[in-house]
Amino acid sequence: MKRTKLWIMIQQSFWFLPVIYGIISIVLAIASTQIDFSFTEDELKTIAPAVLVPDTDLGVELLSTLTTVTLTMTTITFSTIMVVLTTFSSQFSPRTLQNFISDRKTQHILAIFIGGFIYHLVAFLQLRSPGNESILLTPVLAGVIAIIGVAAFVYFINHVAKFIQVNNLINRLTKEALTTIGRLNDDVRRYQKDPRQNDFSNINSQQEEGKITAKHAGYINLIDFSMLMNYIEQDNITVRMNVYVGDFVVTGMTLLTYYQAPDHPITNTEKYRACVKVGTERTGVQDIEFSIQKIVEIALRAISPSTNDPHTAINCINRIGEIFIKLGNKEWLQPELYDSQQQQRLTIKHPDFSYYLYKAFFQIRHYGNEDVSVTTAILNVLKLIAANTPSNLQETIWKFAMYVYEGLNKEVLLSLDKSYLKSELYQIAEVTSHDVPESVTDD
């Protein structure tokens, strides 16, 4: 697996790119001033027009002004970021804050401002020391960096304006969920066989049992399947995962159970614990449920009495349907993983399709129970999912559709509402090859 624990920490860090840009700016400022000091005034004027070769005092004044301007833009940027974070937390979901903080465009723009400020400040201090009466490279670079900073500031305002639009946010969260599904599929698919070839051998056939426990409490952020399978094959053991990505564990809780031959005990169990990353909060690297949950929370905010925006909720429901179509067409929902010799080595605790379906819609169904448009959207999406997923999921989808319909408060529904909802249910029944119960037709 390419994504290591260190890479995840770097990706989630808001200060990684600003630090890199800051270091580059310090090196660039020192290098540019030293290059200027290595030429005489006459030599500089032969290299460039005289207008580009100001005296040192003018260069110091220019850098002083640019330092103030850059610091002002950086301050405004920080203020804008705080406003966006407040908006995300109050109107959408606290979980979506990670998306803005980890957004590469936001980090690059902030890094440009911080890097520009550091360059101007360091160059300003360098030019105040004794040196040439005229300079060339330092003020030219300062001007170029300032222009880049202004362009970045304009782009940042436009970027924020687009980023906080709810439809754009929902679209990004959907892409994140689809990426998570694809990433997890890539991680485990190569260790799986055709379901028709699975022998489902007994993973407990070896005699001695051992357990790897969590050292601290938190959420399972990542399971490095590639490294884990390599270790398992090297030690010739079999393993059963007791937890899965997104689960909350406490200190001492069993992460995985391994079964080893009595005459070949494993000596290093710490390497197995290192394959399971436990963090203080959930992330969307492998956690499909968490990625879907972000969209669900936006839908719940949209249908709350204080917001009353069912169209946004319907957009969320449609996007969740898109996610489930991809989820349903993946074959990696098998629990058994095999090594290169086609021997079963690892059994994972993987939620099934019905689990994800329930977790995605049960809250929306509950809080949107009295909004016919929301319930209709759920039934319509279930029909869409059923029409675009394998036949082995039809029973699950039909049962969930009946669950949604049974949860309706039919006493408050008007006849036309009932007729429309029944029509959606009949269409799902047709797609899934089921018969509508008489209790529905009698409503």
Q: What is the mean pLDDT of residues 133-160?
A: 86
pLDDT of 301 above 80: yes
Model confidence pLDDT, tens digit, residues 231-246: 998 888 899 999 999 9
E strands of 242-335, at which residues? Answer: 248-249, 254-260, 276-279
Q: For residues 386 and 398, what is the distance between their CA atoms, to the nearest angstrom?
A: 8
Sign, Cα dihedral of 367, 324, 401, 314:
positive
Share of residues in the chain with pLDDT > 90 (%): 41
Count of CA atoms in the C-beta half-sphere (13 A) of 202: 4
The answer to whether the pTM exceeds 0.85 is no
Model confidence pLDDT, tens digit, residues 371-417: 899 999 999 999 999 999 998 899 999 999 999 998 888 888 888 99
User: Taking the C-alpha atoms of 373, 95, 284 and 231 in order, what is their torsion angle to the nearest 10 degrees?
Assistant: -140
Measured at the CA of 246, the angle between CA 242 and CA 251, to 5 degrees, comes to 60
pLDDT of 248 above 60: yes
Model confidence pLDDT, tens digit, residues 170-186: 999 999 999 999 888 88
Instruction: Please tell me whether residue 165 adopts helix, strand or coil conformation.
Output: coil
User: Taking the C-alpha atoms of 136, 141, 144 and 150 in order, what is their torsion angle to the nearest 10 degrees?
Assistant: -130
Phi, psi of 252 (to 5 degrees): 90, -5
Model confidence pLDDT, tens digit, residues 342-379: 888 899 888 889 999 999 999 999 998 888 999 999 99
Q: For residues 153 and 148, what is the distance between their CA atoms, to the nearest angstrom?
A: 9
Residue with tokens 């449920």: 289
What's the confidence (pLDDT) of residue 92? 77
161 or 394, which is more confident: 394
Distances from the Cα of 59 to the Cα of 37, 122, 288, angstroms: 13, 13, 55
What's the confidence (pLDDT) of residue 200? 43
Q: For residues 397 and 393, what is the distance between their CA atoms, to the nearest angstrom?
A: 6
Residues 6+ positions from 33 with CB-CB distance below 8 Å: 123, 126, 127, 131, 135, 138
Contacts 24+ apart (CB under 8 A), 120-124: 120/29, 120/63, 120/66, 120/67, 120/70, 120/145, 120/146, 121/63, 121/67, 122/25, 122/26, 122/29, 122/30, 123/29, 123/32, 123/33, 123/63, 124/60, 124/63, 124/64, 124/67
Q: For residues 137 and 143, what is the distance between their CA atoms, to the nearest angstrom?
A: 10
Lookup: tokens for 243: 């937890």
Sign, Cα dihedral of 162, 166, 167, 169:
positive
What's the confidence (pLDDT) of residue 443? 66
